[in-house]
Amino acid sequence: MKIISVEDLPMDAKVKEVLKRRGIVTLNPVQSEAVEKGLLEGRRLLLTSPTGSGKTLIAELGMISHLLRGGKRAIYVTPLRALTSEKYVTFKDWEILGYKVGMTSGDYDTDDAFLSRYDIVVTTYEKLDSLWRHNPSWLKESDYFILDEFHYLNDGKRGPVVESVAVRSKRRNLLGLSATVSNADAIAEWLNATPVKTNWRPVPLKEGILVNDRKIVLTYTDGVSIQLKGNDGILAYTKKIVEEGGQVLVFRNSRKMAETTARKIAELNFPLKKKEVEDIVSRLREVEDAGSEERNTLAELMSRGVAFHHAGLSKGLRDLIEEGFRRRVIKVITATPTLAAGVNLPARAVVVGDIYRFNRKILGFQEEISVMEYKQMSGRAGRPGYDSEGEAVIVVRNRKDSERIAKKYILSPPEPLESRLGNESAFYSFLLGLASEDGANEEFVRTMAQETFLDHELVKTYLETGLNWLRENEFLSDGVKLTKFGRRVADLYINPFTAKLIKDTLSMSEAENCDIPYLHMLALTPDGPIANVSKPEEDDLLEWAPCPPFTDVPDDEDEAFQYFSALKIALIVHDWIEEVDEDAILSKYGIGSGDLRSIVETMEWLTYSGYQVSKALEWESHADIMFLLNRRVSDGVKEDLLDLVRVPGIGRKRGRLLYQNGLTKPEDLVMNPEKVKALIGEKVGEKVVKDAARVIGGVL
């Protein structure tokens, strides 16, 4: 494979300057092949290669060469907000060439007109999908799309949105970036792109099976076997790697297992640099968006060079853990598989502690993970610049399974990518999105639907039933013309089945003075958050509810599970807006600070959507209740604090403190600056008083 020198690139000197500043003097084999295949000339490519093989730089060269050739705008799309932020920071390097880099995610009911000022826009698949419904002129002008982590097409939740974005992007120039997949040629053909396939990695990967039976034996695929001392294979292997100077990522199939494993590993007492550890533990205790129990638990673990990482943790905690690992202060992270698909966090070794995961819909509750999931986890092994090779081991508890598991996960390619649009909820939402585009007619919608990766016979079925359903439920009229209700639902970026449930429920319900019925209804929609609920917990939830939901507990087991999940979400949010202490909420419901933030964020969007749907249907009494509810969910306060928390810097705790001391509105803050500073501190108080004056003046 040819290796291209940066000096030989047919690009502007400033481009080469940026690369050299990063220490890049030659392109690696994957990057070189992309250039050979026409990357810099704007050729449409689908590049599939392992994690850590330099795909981001390929995207950067593609974007910059496009703009240098006179292109209007490049859009870089990722499946996760964390990746969006990471790429945004990386791409800021290119502003030296005069190109402005912007970022957007969340807030789906807007066209983000400000992005017209930017040459490179980084966003998520969901945000881009929602933007297409708003038809902003800047998006119509955008002519180069980079679809990152394209293997998310196979993801049950995000796959339909990835496909929806791909269908639209196919009309422009595009670059697809994906982990290795077995049907890359078919995907490339669908995207009208040239496939660039390689298994090259910057750090070679050594893989093996760790049998945790009567003896702990690690057997690599090259046939070499070693026996480890101890009773626990994960502990023995982790100890070995850390003693050799490496770091380890241990993946477990649940949060509880990740936390339990972290505690066990911490008992190994690794030698650490005391000052560095004390510094990061000190910063950990200052993280504001976390529960005190989480901080205390992690402080104890991190003081021993270990941490756990999962979605239940707040962003502040996750960011600090990742920073500590990158700085090599933290030696071991135990995590759920979500970390594998998230940020760039390589380690010397990866331990896949479980090949099974929980699935309540399967008899026995366990299913094996996909090969793609294993490849994503194992792909984190090997730190460029630190390791000559990475190691990934799969733990098995039964020696008889070793050969089968090695053959399935290590020696086989990942599963082929398939369309996830093959269900009513996903496909009908896709159709509504198509109908919302400027100038859309029935021929356009039908043509675009045929452009999906879904089997054409299935497309025909879903197309006819979907259009009929959208008309029958008053989203569409006269072919594919959006009704007022349909337009509002499309702009809000909620699933049409969510809108139907809101419409059907409220049409049969009187306005309630209690928030539980509304929160339960919204949590029960397809867009609502999901909470785990144990059988014993169900009675508690019914008892804790200050008033009953709009609907009764259903007899069907699956529907009952959804009912109680929604009730738990409703009660969590109810406590949040009643200003219950965050630590008390986390303890009462057995959730993490990250869970609470995610639930609040989703329910803020859904209460806003419920308000807008009610307005579109002219149900003013329901609309008024949900408008107030939305404001309270946004700030986590009772109604009497809503005026005060309009001032930046005043949240639920400071707001209540000020209110209890007679400062109940922004005007009171301006009139009593010394009292404000005495209550909340000199520096913060001074800023709050200034911001209160700006709020009164209508500047904020």
Residue type, 99: Y
Q: Which residue has the tokens 């059988």?
A: 535
HEC string of 297-343 equals: HHHHHHCCCEEEECCCCCHHHHHHHHHHHHCCCCCEEEECHHHHHCC
Backbone angles phi, psi at 251, to 5 degrees: -100, 125
Dihedral sign for Cα atoms in the order 437, 443, 446, 449: negative
Strand boundaries in 180-247, DSSP class E: 194-197, 205-212, 216-220, 225-228
Gap between the Cα atoms of 331 and 270, Å rounded: 8
Structure-token pair, residue 550? 């709009």
Q: Which residues contact 24 (CB under 8 A, 6 or more apart)?
A: 6, 57
Contact between 302 and 287 (Cβ < 8 Å): no
Contact between 112 and 104 under an 8 Å Cβ cutoff? The reply is: yes
The answer to whether 333 and 339 are in contact (CB under 8 A) is: yes
| C-alpha span between 84 and 105 (Å, rounded) | 8
Describe the chain by its helix, strand, coil percentages, rounded to 5.
55, 10, 35
Distance separating alpha carbons of residues 76 and 86, to the nearest angstrom: 12
User: For residue 284, which of 262, 266, 308, 264 has the smallest C-alpha distance?
Assistant: 308
Residue 520 to residue 511: CA distance in whole angstroms:
14
CB distance 102 to 120 below 8 Å: yes
| Dihedral sign computed on CA atoms, order 639, 645, 651, 656 | negative
**Beta carbons within 8 Å of 34's beta carbon, 6+ residues apart:** 45, 47, 58, 61, 62, 196
Q: Residue 597: which of 311, 248, 208 has the closest Cα?
A: 311
| Distances in whole angstroms, Cα of residue 466 to Cα of each of 209, 353, 386, 485 | 47, 43, 54, 17
The rounded distance, in Å, linking the Cα atoms of 402 and 527 is 40
Phi-psi region of 211 (alpha: psi -120 to 50; beta: other; left: phi over 0): beta
Task: Determine if residue 31 is labeled as part of a ligand binding site.
Answer: yes
Of 253, 392, 246, 390, give the one whose Cα is nearest residue 332. 246
Least Cα distance to 595 among 342, 294, 300 occurs for 294
Walk across the sheet containing 306-309 and list its strands. 225-228, 216-220, 205-212, 390-396, 349-352, 248-251, 332-335, 306-309
Instruction: Select from 78, 84, 28 the least CA-distant residue to 58.
Output: 28
Torsion of CA 370, 374, 375, 377, to 10 degrees: 140
Query: Alpha-carbon distance 582 to 594, whole Å?
Result: 12
Residues 467, 470, 476, 481, CA torsion sign: negative
Which distant-in-sequence residues (6+ apart) come within 8 Å of 245 by Cβ?
348
Binding residues for ATP: 31
Binding residues: 31
